[in-house]
């Protein structure tokens, strides 16, 4: 069903890369598969979809406006500048929390002994749009290795989200770079739903089922 017709969905996917010098960077194992599956499914269900993606090895989804970024700062700019026009935001990207304090202009040469890398914090994009929220439905993701429920509920509240999709990345079949995931969906009204092992395509539609149902209950000015 075209149950997302009229919605403008903004999805983020993939990792970010924080450059150290012209040849090296800090990043993570995100493949982008979850976010791309959500973008494709949302488009199939009638939404106008914008995908902001970090560097991944996936084909651009058909019919989806795709914006490629590299660093957390670039992703922030791409998301914040499009936030007002969105009615639903789903942040599946694994954004780096730290970047090298300085990017060397030329390749860092090795020296004898150990070296220390100074890192600075990147801005939390999800928290920022949570503060800017004006009727949008915001779904975040949480990748955890300990106390899945506790940490995810904390993120849901602190970042002013409507929903958080939490996954324990230590479980086999869950998390980064696999085609399946095992998640717990937590909603701002306190509902918690534990999901079985699912392929990311099915999970994308399940997440959108929940969002579409909540949008039907409380549509607002941001849609249309
Ligand atoms: N996120 C973001 N900007 C950041 C870091 C994270 O928008 N700089 C978003 C991610 O896209 C995800 C959610 O925040 O939807 C949670 O990311 P996660 O890495 O699980 O948590 P953090 O908030 O970064 O907390 P921590 O690393 O301490 O677990």
| pLDDT tens-place string over residues 120-162 | 999 999 999 999 999 999 999 998 889 888 999 999 999 999 9
DSSP run (H or E) holding 199: strand 198-199
Give yes or no: 151 in active site.
no
Tell me the three state secondary structure of residue 175. Answer: coil
With cut-offs at 50, 70 and 90, classify the pLDDT of residue 222.
low
Please, what is the average pLDDT of the chain? 94
Contact 95, 72 (CB under 8 A): yes
Question: CA 30, 133, 135, 189 torsion: positive or negative?
Answer: positive
Q: Is the pLDDT of residue 65 over 60?
A: yes
124 alpha carbon to ligand 1 midpoint, in Å?
7
| pTM summary value | 0.94
* Alpha-carbon span 156 to 179, nearest angstrom: 25
Contact 90, 11 (CB under 8 A): yes
Residue nearest to atom 12 of ligand 1 (CA): 141
Q: Which atom of ligand 1 is nearest to the CA of 142?
A: 20
Angle between helices 125-132 and 72-83 (to 10 degrees): 20
205 alpha carbon to ligand 1 midpoint, in Å?
22
* Alpha-carbon span 89 to 133, nearest angstrom: 10
Q: Across the strands, what pairs with 3?
A: none
**Residue of higher predicted confidence among 185 and 149:** 185
């Amino acid at each position: 069903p075209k149950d997302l017709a009229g919605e403008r969905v903004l999805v983020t996917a993939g990792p970010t890369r924080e450059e150290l010098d012209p040849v090296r960077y800090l990043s993570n194992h995100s493949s982008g598969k979850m976010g791309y599956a959500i973008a494709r499914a949302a488009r199939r269900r009638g939404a106008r979809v914008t995908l902001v993606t970090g560097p991944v090895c996936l084909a651009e989804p058909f019919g989806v406006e795709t914006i490629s970024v590299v660093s957390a700062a670039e992703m922030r700019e791409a998301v914040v500048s499009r936030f007002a026009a969105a009615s639903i935001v789903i942040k599946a990207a694994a954004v780096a929390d730290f970047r090298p304090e300085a990017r060397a202009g030329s390749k860092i040469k090795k020296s004898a002994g150990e070296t220390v890398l100074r890192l600075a914090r990147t801005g939390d994009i999800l928290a920022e749009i949570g503060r800017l929220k004006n009727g949008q439905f915001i779904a975040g993701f949480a990748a955890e290795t300990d106390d899945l429920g506790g940490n995810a509920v904390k993120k849901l509240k602190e970042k002013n989200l409507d929903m958080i999709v939490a996954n324990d990345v230590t479980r086999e079949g869950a998390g980064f770079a696999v085609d399946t995931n095992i998640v717990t969906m937590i909603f701002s009204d306190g509902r918690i739903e534990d999901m079985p092992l699912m392929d990311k395509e099915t999970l994308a539609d399940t997440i959108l089922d929940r969002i579409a149902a909540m949008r039907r209950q409380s549509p607002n000015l941001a849609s249309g």
